Structure 1
Amino acid sequence: MFTMKWVTGAAMLACTGALVACQGGADKAPGAAAGTPTPSGAVTGAPTPPAPTTSSAAATDPLLSGKREVTITRVQGSGKPLEISGRLEEGGDTGGRTLFVPTPIGGDRYVIRAFGTKDGHPANDDPSCWQVNGLDIEPELTIGAVVCDQDDPIQRFTIIAKGDGTYAIGSETRFLQHLPGNGLVLKELGNAKLDTTFRFADKGPADRQPIN
């Protein structure tokens, strides 16, 4: 009889220990073994969720959503919209394209598609894209229009909202600036202040049907 009571007590003790061990494991959040709990209960060293691929600006600003056509005008300029044919210019009246669709491609980068006037001509509905002119010599680079390829790094631009309805446009570490006698160029700021910004005006939905 004594032996049976001892065995029963030992079994109960083992079961109790197992429950404690199980309960201790259940208290740990999944992945807690990969890090160290902090006083607040959070686990350090846990995997970090991937960053969103689209910028916050593109998510909240319809003009940067890729769904609206805009004209772009230099704030400090003549008031004439930018146009692009061989080169991005300010109101050059060269018959270039003046309607643009800044299209987010992730990481605060944009491809800027260019269209002609909506006049029923199919060629105007086929987009071209801004691209840094590769044949230019530093430190002043111009922008031309080419066949769109968002995987090409020199077709990726930054667009930064300045908080007053204006935007700064750049590529890598350069910003699009106006230089007297040289027009619009991409240039390093250095110690200079950014004094060239742009306004975007909504011109309707980006609903073109390209030829191809």
Structure 2
Amino acid sequence: MLVGRWLAGAGLVALVATMGACGVATASEGDGAPAGVGPSGTVPAASAPASGNPAASAPASGSAVESAPPTASSALSAVLSGTRRVTIVRVDGFESGLSLLDGGRLAEVDDDQGRQVFVPTPLGSQEFLIKSYRGGGAGRPLCWQVHNPGDGRPLVVHGAACRAGDPRQRFVIVPVPTGGDREFLIMNRWAYLRTSARSGLILEELGDSPPMNSFRFNDTGPAPRQG
């Protein structure tokens, strides 16, 4: 794309030189022409790349390209780096947040019960251990683990001692393409985390259906040092 710009600049140099030889009016003679542009829309040779050399117009160090503000991707990488603690809220969950309850199951609550401090810890290939701590970050964490209650009931998430090699604890976390900053889908293999009016938070394979729920990760500070 830059090469095309360099070629266009070189062409304009040749055009200006030719028109100058034929006595075409300069920019100062134009009537109301924008600054730096001749009455015929030409660019003065002084502002065009010299000799068609791309290096002549290459951005200098500290240019706008290099000093552009950080994008959302830097924030995304921070909350998934394993060095930050987060709270997790279902995007349409109003005031409820996720908590790993003392009884062992992941649920949505609107108070301070259970473990509500989470540290997504990367394992590679977009897989993570999701470590769970109590509010102060004290003690050893428990990790999310898929649990099958049997009897045809849906899969749920329970807490268990952290084991990176256990597939049931390796959750995939991916950004929502059309979502806001720090909005993610959470799944284990082909089962997505979602809410059910009957069963609360469950993991369900969706087939060809789109995921029903996404989750916002809110950065609340450095990760606890334990675990």
TM-score by length of 1: 0.65
- Alignment match, 2:141: 127
CA distance in 2, matches of 1:153, 1:58: 28
Describe how 1:1-212 pairs up with structure 2 within 5 A: 61-85=77-101, 86-91=104-109, 93=111, 95-118=113-136, 124-136=138-150, 140-163=154-177, 164-165=180-181, 166-209=183-226
Contact 1:83–1:92 (Cα < 8 Å) also in 2 = no
Contact 2:176–2:184 (Cα < 8 Å) also in 1 = yes
1:60 positional shift: 6.1
CA distance in 1, matches of 2:189, 2:205: 9
Ranges in structure 1 where 5+ consecutive residues have no aligned partner: 1-56
**Residues 106-159 of structure 1, C-alpha deviation per residue, up to 9 Å, x if partnerless?**
12110000000117xxxx331110000144455720000111111111010000
CA distance in 2, matches of 1:151, 1:58: 28
CA distance in 1, matches of 2:152, 2:112: 26
> Residue type of the partner of 1:74?
R
Contact 1:139–1:187 (Cα < 8 Å) also in 2 = no
Paired-residue identity, % = 37
CA distance in 1, matches of 2:151, 2:122: 28
> Residue type of the partner of 1:182?
S
TM-score by length of 2: 0.61
Distance 1:136 1:69, change over 3 A: farther
Ranges in structure 2 where 5+ consecutive residues have no aligned partner: 1-72
SS at match of 1:62: helix
CA distance in 1, matches of 2:164, 2:113: 25
1:58 positional shift: 9.7
CA distance in 1, matches of 2:75, 2:172: 15
CA distance in 2, matches of 1:188, 1:138: 14
Contact 1:59–1:65 (Cα < 8 Å) also in 2 = no
What is the alpha-carbon root mean square deviation over aligned residues?
Answer: 2.3
SS at match of 1:61: helix
